Chains A and B, each alone.
Chain A
Amino acid sequence: MKAFEFFDDLTSDALFKAYGKTYEELFENAARALFSLICDTSKVPDRYSVAIKLEGENIEGLLYDWLSQLLAESEINALFFSNFRVTINEGNKLDAVAYGSRASPRMGKVQVKAITKYKFSIEKTDDGFSATVSCDI
């Protein structure tokens, strides 16, 4: 199963689909896709970590909040993230850790301003779930 892939759908921005056998894997892969836009994740070792706890209205809302929170935490802590561990309880409670290292323009690609609601969705697939996410750049 692919972790994620990008589609040439938006003139000004970026749209990806992430995949996972479970919601946890889906959330981790969506975060990997997001940070593959922002930085060269192959050059970002796990030196620092940030714990994130969130409660969403439903699973889609939780994914939106998770990715938006990662953008905020990346800027506030001046970190690029490359690895993620996610646990989801009761369908809408997230307990996660994002791992990464100090942000630097040398590893940076482009700033993602926000996660948008354009085509934003989670769908059930034959072997798990897929999420469609578009990012304002």
Chain B
Amino acid sequence: MLPKAVRPGMRVNAVILANKQALEMIEDEAIEQLTNVAMLPGVVEPVLAMPDAHWGYGLPMGAVGAFDPNDNGIISSGMTGFDINCGINLISSNLSAAAVRAKLRELVNNSFKAIPCGVGSKGKLRLNKDELNGVLKYGMKWAVQQGYGVQEDIERTEENGAMEEADPNKVSDLALRRGMDQLGTLGSGNHFLEFQEVTEIFDEEAAKKWGIEKGKVCIMVHCGSRGLGHQIATDYLKIHEKAAEKYGIKLPDKQLACAPINSAEGQDYFKAMKCAVNYSFANRLIITHWMRGVFEHVFDQKWRELGLNTVYGLAHNICKQEKHIINGKEREVYVHRKGATRSFPDLPVLIAGSMGTSSWLLKGTYEAMGLTFGSTAHGAGRAMSREAAIKKFWGNNIKSEMEKAGRIVRAANIKVLAEEAPQAYKDVDAIIETVHEAGVSLKVAKLVPLGVIKG
């Protein structure tokens, strides 16, 4: 714990959820950023860093900050981040790893063709303004109405795949134009689509309930709200910089640009952010729908017969209005999770590894409600810069190393494989052990990649 006495101006304590190994991997600058957040108005104790935390813009990636609207609390576009509702969908199957390995190259190649990915790729959908408004207001519900996915997908997604009171009128024309042609695209960087083998089960009951079986294969989709979300974040950073000045909020770092929750600038952002959240939920469902099509074609069976059901879908860059028990009293707070995943009791938690390393299905806990505003880690977190990774690794070598290990990878650009080399990331398994030991989410199943599609 970092008591508020460590730095003048801190209103609350900060907590770093890490064992010795994880703590050593968190930069001093990230810890300083955490103390910056503890200085903002209306902050609720504690400000938290998850074990995968690393330096970010304003708030570290892998951090949680909650604010009370009844105590002049703020909402911050900077603290939510540029990739609003970057998140994960996990889809189960009844296919064995052996059956998928036998068709792996065909699956990877067909998926690569079916899902537009990489910078410069063209989306397959061209939305008009009314359709885009539908996506922004209704998220996955819009997608299901259009024939992408089914009702069960909605029921197995955080917020049922759409945050209420999203208002496209609060989204700039530039952001809307960026959103028109990008629905159903993966993007690039650390976003991916993977076929993963369930190699270990730690909680039989939860795994059975969620349709996960050892030796079977899952599909994981990791992406966000694309250019629309990036533009909303960019637009509101400027608005919140001015709002902070207008409302006399002293910013320890201008990247923490924010506005009072109970202000026009605060609520406008919340309504615009929800549009990006809904766009991203729809985006991942449309990709899921197309992936079902790929599997139907390759295995010549209907997706229902292949058991391609959504296990869960969730966000790890988001701000949510939630009720939490604080000092024995229920309070409504705005929880910013930037590179952090919701961990509510008995609900699935998804944590992505880096390319070529394991990802995890966990279970949310009551302990998380008491310790972390119902939050846990989100991924491995980078340990090496992209520049350093490119200097150190060759994309083709990474590809052949992965193929030697029985994994097939396709990327829009081979250089991305060097940037995203598994060695450039922290050890996700160590992060999982930390959150499991801390009780803020419990291990259910380990998922190891067989096939990887990178943007």
Which of chain A's residues 105-120 have a Cβ closer than 8 Å to chain B? Answer: 105-111, 113-118
B419 within 8 A of A: yes
- Whether the pair A110, B416 counts as a contact (CB closer than 8 A) is yes
Q: Which of B174, B233, B255, B382 contacts A118 (CB 8 A)?
A: B255
Q: Is there contact, CB below 8 Å, between B227 and A72?
A: yes
Given A108-B119, A114-B234; A10-B189 close (CB under 8 Å)? no
- When distances are taken between beta carbons in the complex, the residues of chain B under 8 Å from A115 are 234
In the complex, which residues of chain B have a beta carbon less than 8 angstroms from the beta carbon of A116?
Answer: 57, 82, 255
Residues of B within 8 A of A110 (CB): 119, 188-189, 386, 413, 415-416, 419
Once bound together, how far apart are the Cα atoms of A114 and B175, in whole Å? 12
For residue B406, give the distance in angstroms from its CB to the closest CB of chain A. Answer: 26
Q: Contacts A76-B178, A111-B455, A118-B255 known; A39 to B120 CB distance under 8 Å?
A: yes
Residue from B57, B188, B385 in contact with A117 in the complex, judged by beta carbons closer than 8 Å:
B57
Q: How many A-B residue pairs have CB under 8 A?
A: 105
Cross-chain pairs A/B with CB under 8 angstroms, 24 sampled: A8-B388, A10-B55, A10-B385, A38-B119, A68-B234, A103-B120, A104-B120, A105-B117, A105-B120, A105-B412, A106-B120, A108-B120, A108-B188, A108-B412, A109-B416, A110-B188, A110-B189, A110-B415, A111-B119, A113-B189, A115-B234, A116-B82, A118-B255, A137-B386
What is the minimal beta-carbon distance from B121 to any residue of chain A, in angstroms? 5
Besides A108-B188, A118-B255, 6 other A-B contacts (C-beta < 8 A): A12-B382, A76-B178, A103-B120, A108-B120, A110-B416, A110-B419
Cβ of B254 under 8 Å from chain A? yes
Complex Cα–Cα for A12 and B83 (A) = 14
A23 contacts B by Cβ under 8 Å: no
Say yes or no: is A6 at the interface (Cβ < 8 Å to chain B): yes
Which chain A residues border B7 with CB–CB below 8 Å?
none
Q: Tell me, rounded to whole Å, the shortest Cβ–Cβ distance linking B87 to chain A.
A: 15
Q: Could you tell me the distance in whole angstroms from the C-beta of A67 to the nearest C-beta in chain B?
A: 10
Tell me whether B177 and A72 are in contact (CB under 8 A).
yes
Of B387, B413, B415, the residue contacting A14 (CB under 8 A) is B387
B415 cross-chain contacts in A, Cβ below 8 A: 109-110
Find A11's partner among B188, B254, B383, B455 (CB 8 Å cutoff).
B383
A contact residues around B388 at 8 Å (CB): 8
Which residues of the other chain, B, contact A114 by a CB distance below 8 angstroms?
82, 230, 233-234
Q: Which residues of A contact B121 (CB under 8 A)?
A: 105, 108
Interfacial residues, chain A to chain B (CB-CB below 8 A) = 6, 8-14, 38-39, 68-69, 71-72, 75-76, 78, 80, 103-111, 113-118, 136-137
B230-265 CB mask vs A (1 if < 8 Å, else 0) is: 110110010000000000000000110000000000
Contact between A111 and B189, CB atoms less than 8 A apart = yes
Residue B122 at the chain A interface, CB threshold 8 Å: yes
Q: In the assembled complex, how far is the CB of residue B106 from the closest CB belonging to chain A, in whole angstroms?
A: 21
Q: How far is the CB of B383 from chain A (nearest CB, A)?
A: 7
CB-based contact B118/A108 at 8 Å: yes
Question: Is B310 close to A, CB under 8 A?
Answer: no
Q: In the complex the two chains form, what is the Cα distance from A60 to B54 in whole Å?
A: 28
Check: B181 CB closer than 8 A to any chain A CB: yes
Cα distance, A80 to B118, chains bound together (Å)? 13
Q: Which of A8, A13, A75, A104 contacts B178 (CB 8 A)?
A: A75
Tell me which residues from 20 to 69 in chain B have a Cβ below 8 Å from any Cβ of chain A.
Answer: 27, 54-57, 61
* Chain A contacts for B174, CB-based, 8 A: 69, 72, 76
Minimum CB–CB distance for B188 against chain A, Å:
4
CB contacts (< 8 Å) of A118 on chain B: these are 57, 255
Known contacts A108-B119, A108-B413, A11 near B230 by CB under 8 Å: no
Q: Mark B199-233, 1 if CB is under 8 A from A, else 0.
A: 00000000000000000000000000001001101
Distance between B394 CB and nearest chain A CB, rounded to angstroms: 15
A6 to B388, CA, bound (A): 12
Q: Which residues of A contact B382 (CB under 8 A)?
A: 11-12
B384 at the interface (CB under 8 A from A): yes
* CB–CB A105/B413 < 8 A: yes
Find A78's partner among B83, B117, B181 (CB 8 Å cutoff). B181
Taking a contact as CB atoms under 8 Å apart, the answer to whether A117 and B119 are in contact is no
- Is B356 in contact with chain A by the CB < 8 A criterion? no
**Chain A hits for B386, CB < 8 A:** 12-14, 110, 137
Residue of A8, A103, A105, A118 most packed against chain B (CB within 10 A)? A105
Question: How close is A40's CB to chain B, nearest CB, in angstroms?
Answer: 9
Complex: chain B residue closest to A76, CB-CB: B177
